[in-house]
Amino acid sequence: MIRRLLDPLRLPYRFREIRRRHGTRPFRILDIGAGNHSASVTKHWFPACHYAGVDRDRNYHNDERDFAAMDEFFELDLTQLEFDGIPDASYDVVLLAHVIEHLANGDAVLRGLVPKLKRGGCMYVEFPGPQSLRLPSKKGTLNFHDDTTHVRVFSAAEVAGILVGSGLRVLRARTRRDPRGILLLQVYALRAKQKYGFVPGGVFWDLFGFADEVIADRP
């Protein structure tokens, strides 16, 4: 009972717009970057959704539970821009959370994925913003360069321009600052310390404005 009551506080930030739009109703989501148990996490919050994952390696921090949660999986290298195998106009949500900063041609990847969105569907893109270049270095990534796989810095304005140029309507383009993440920072820090033995940089993302977010839809 207590766990159910606390669930709204535990909802990952990237899912909030999805929850607002779809609630617990069925919808189709295309999750770009489907590692780190993303399929299981998504199905936990949206058990009625149709989950389609995209990643270069389906085994990246995934297990049998994650594979069982996947309704579709497209194993491909995003940088090759070969998206024909993903059906056009088929998904209510296209989600890219901390993906494009790992791609030298992330702008072209965004343009290539827009056609996969249904009319009325939304695209959520989150990534380290230019301000992350000025933040202190910390284990678990607080400065952009803490992650050696980061190759390109995008801004909210740049990503918004790409999506508008691809026919979408931008609803929000800004630095991500979750009041919950700031208010409960000490709680998250304590939990992380207990789990990992240190407090990772991600705990401080909302306080310092590490990430930018862009939400757009297809009118």
Contact 92/75 with Cβ under 8 angstroms? no
Average pLDDT estimate for 117-144:
98
Identify the bridge partners of residue 125 per DSSP, sorted by sequence position: 96, 214
pLDDT tens for 109-129 read: 999 999 999 999 999 999 999
Given a cut of 60, is residue 2 above it in pLDDT? no
**What average pLDDT is seen over the chain?**
94
Look at residue 59 in the predicted model and tell me its pLDDT. 82
At 175 the three-state DSSP class reads strand
Tokens 């969105």 belong to 117
- The band of 199, judged by pLDDT with boundaries at 50, 70 and 90, is very high
Q: Among 7-11, 50-54, 106-110, 138-142, which stretch is predicted with the lowest mean pLDDT? A: 7-11
Quick check: 68 pLDDT over 60?
Answer: yes
Residue keyed to tokens 């890219």: 96
Q: Which helix (H) or strand (E) holds 217?
A: strand 211-217
pLDDT > 60? residue 38: yes
Using DSSP's 3-state secondary structure scheme, residue 174 falls into: strand
Q: Which helix (H) or strand (E) holds 200?
A: none
> What's residue 6's pLDDT?
40
**Residue for token digits 């990246």?**
60
CB-based contact 71:98 (threshold 8 Å): no
Is the separation of the CB atoms in 92 and 63 below 8 Å? no
CB–CB of 199/187 below 8 Å? no
